[in-house]
């Protein structure tokens, strides 16, 4: 078999055979297929698509490129959650300990931010002492003791995806739905969770800008989970406005702790509870009440134990940026738009995110919101506060917000929960 014939087949809109898929993924992982050749194949997939059988086989080949984890020895059923990424999306932080407090085990393998979307590991690393890198044995110990762990995926998990993801990022093929779906699901299936809930974001701050594309991605991923024996459900959720009132690292940790303490912004609480109910139902615990676990302190107890088990100090003061700049309303009226993408880019430029995976991030940087769409504001009222250690970044961040805010007129906010696919 040779890579040219595989590229030509997909270029000419043919269905790749299982043998072609197995071979090309294995050969690329070993280095026998060059980056420029896999780039050509990825572009052909972006342009011509794949059917369900092709995507399922492609996903299986990426899973088989590395190790598979096994949680069958745990005394609890396992449930995991994955978000396709957004602005202010700190849901994993309160969600994992909340679901653990209700009786499931949550092996949450998370990633870092890139561009305008935040990364769960970057947020948690703002807690003094907390560490993302755990061995498989350490991960199992935390799961047995606490019931929830949030950590980085090991190098042995779907290494083909790690290599292909980096290539897609620099070749304009990130948006290919077959490749997005197989990338996400290969890692989640190899992780070994018994059930999976997907939070597929829709809107300006998401990778999927419209509902039709998001629904197609969700259906593709749910199908992949089903094909590989993982009970999978997806929620489509709005990402036209940032989630909650913060976008940053330590800022979002602080807001997550507020939710675990029984407070926090209404949209963050709503989505956390919706995803928790789906995870518990998928894990076979439909009678568990996550709202009660938030109210009575069990979720907060699980959070504190989880952070401490990974070396963090749950009582430590979180980092605060050295410089702040307040953005005020230019007129009086109803705030009708606060664009998630603009806020995400501003937070990134302030130092909360990175342009390349190796770039450092500032723990205290980000954007703090003082109003959300639907709120009445007056001229001169603070709309948001920008936080950074590098004040020279303020002008660059403000440029991202130029068209992000609209005041005046009627406002009908989109629903936070758009659809459910199972």
Check if the beta carbon of residue 347 is closer than 8 Å to that of residue 118: yes
Non-local (6+) Cβ contacts of 81 within 8 A are 91, 92, 95, 96, 106, 108, 196, 197, 198, 199, 275, 279
Query: Is residue 168 flagged as an active site residue?
Result: yes
DSSP H helices in 243-375: 250-260, 266-282, 290-295, 298-309, 340-347
Under a CB-based contact definition with an 8 Å cutoff, are residues 232 and 81 in contact?
Answer: no
The neighbour count for residue 354, using CB atoms within 10 Å, is 17
Q: Which of 123, 168, 277, 387 is catalytic?
A: 168
The active-site residue, picked from 57, 187, 215, 277, is 187
Which of 161, 199, 227, 238 is an active site residue? Answer: 161
Annotation marks residue 334 as catalytic: no
Tokens of 246: 């913060």
Instruction: Name which of 229, 201, 219 is nearest 86 in CA terms.
Output: 201
CA 350 to centroid of chain Cα atoms: 20
The residue behind tokens 């040779």 is 2
Q: Which residue among the candidates 10, 82, 90, 188 is catalytic per the annotation?
A: 82
Could you tell me which of 260, 314, 259 has the C-alpha nearest to residue 126?
Answer: 314
Q: Rounded to an integer, what distance in angstroms lies between the CA atom of residue 78 and that of residue 140?
A: 12
The active-site residue, picked from 39, 126, 183, 240, is 183
DSSP secondary structure code for residue 64 in this structure? T
For this structure, is 82 an active site residue? yes
Distances in Å between the Cα of 406 and the Cα atoms of 211, 239, 330, 338, 375 are: 23, 17, 10, 7, 12
Count the alpha carbons within 13 Å of 142 in the hemisphere toward its beta carbon: 28
Q: Report how far residue 93's alpha carbon sits from residue 375's, in angstroms, rounded to the nearest whole number.
A: 27
Cα 182 to chain centroid distance, Å, stands at 15
Q: What is the CA radius of gyration of the chain?
A: 21
Count CB-CB contacts under 10 A for residue 164.
Answer: 27
Catalytic site positions: 82, 161, 168, 183, 187
């Amino acid at each position: 078999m040779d890579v040219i014939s595989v590229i030509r087949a997909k270029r000419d809109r043919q269905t790749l055979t299982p043998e072609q898929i197995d071979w090309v993924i294995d050969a690329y992982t070993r280095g026998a297929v060059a980056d420029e050749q896999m780039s050509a194949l990825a572009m052909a997939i972006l342009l011509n698509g794949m059917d369900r059988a092709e995507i399922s086989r492609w996903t299986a080949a990426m899973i088989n490129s590395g190790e598979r984890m096994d949680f069958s020895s745990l005394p609890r059923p396992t449930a995991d959650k994955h978000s396709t990424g957004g602005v202010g999306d700190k849901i994993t932080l309160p969600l994992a300990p909340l679901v653990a407090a209700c009786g499931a085990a949550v092996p949450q393998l998370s990633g870092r931010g890139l561009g305008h979307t935040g990364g769960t590991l970057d947020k948690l690393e703002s807690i003094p002492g907390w560490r993302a890198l755990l061995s498989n044995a350490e991960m199992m110990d935390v799961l047995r003791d606490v019931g929830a762990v949030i950590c980085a995926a090991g190098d042995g998990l779907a290494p083909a995806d790690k290599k292909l993801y980096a290539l897609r990022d620099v070749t304009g093929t990130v948006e290919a739905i077959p490749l997005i779906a197989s990338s996400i699901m290969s890692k989640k299936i190899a992780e070994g969770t018994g059930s999976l809930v997907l939070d597929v974001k829709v809107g300006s701050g998401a990778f999927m800008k419209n509902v039709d594309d998001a629904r197609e991605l969700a259906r593709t991923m749910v199908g992949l989970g089903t094909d590989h024996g993982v009970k999978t459900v997806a929620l489509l959720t709005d990402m036209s406005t940032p989630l909650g009132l913060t976008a940053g690292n330590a800022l979002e940790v602080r807001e997550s702790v507020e939710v675990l303490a029984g407070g926090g912004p209404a949209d963050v609480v709503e989505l956390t509870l919706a995803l928790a109910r789906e995870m518990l139902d998928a894990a076979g615990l439909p009678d568990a009440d996550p709202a009660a676990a938030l109210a009575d302190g069990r979720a907060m107890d699980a959070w504190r134990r989880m952070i401490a088990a990974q070396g963090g100090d749950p009582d430590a003061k979180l980092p605060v940026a050295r410089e702040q700049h307040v953005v005020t309303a230019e007129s009086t009226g109803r705030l009708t738009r606060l664009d998630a993408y603009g806020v995400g880019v501003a937070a990134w430029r302030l130092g909360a995110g990175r342009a390349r995976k190796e770039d450092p991030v500032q723990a205290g940087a980000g954007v703090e919101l003082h109003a959300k769409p639907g709120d009445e504001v007056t001229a001169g009222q603070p709309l948001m506060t920008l936080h950074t250690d590098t004040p020279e970044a303020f002008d660059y961040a403000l440029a991202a917000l130029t068209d992000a805010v609209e005041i005046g007129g009627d406002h009908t906010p989109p629903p936070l929960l758009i659809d459910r696919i199972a």
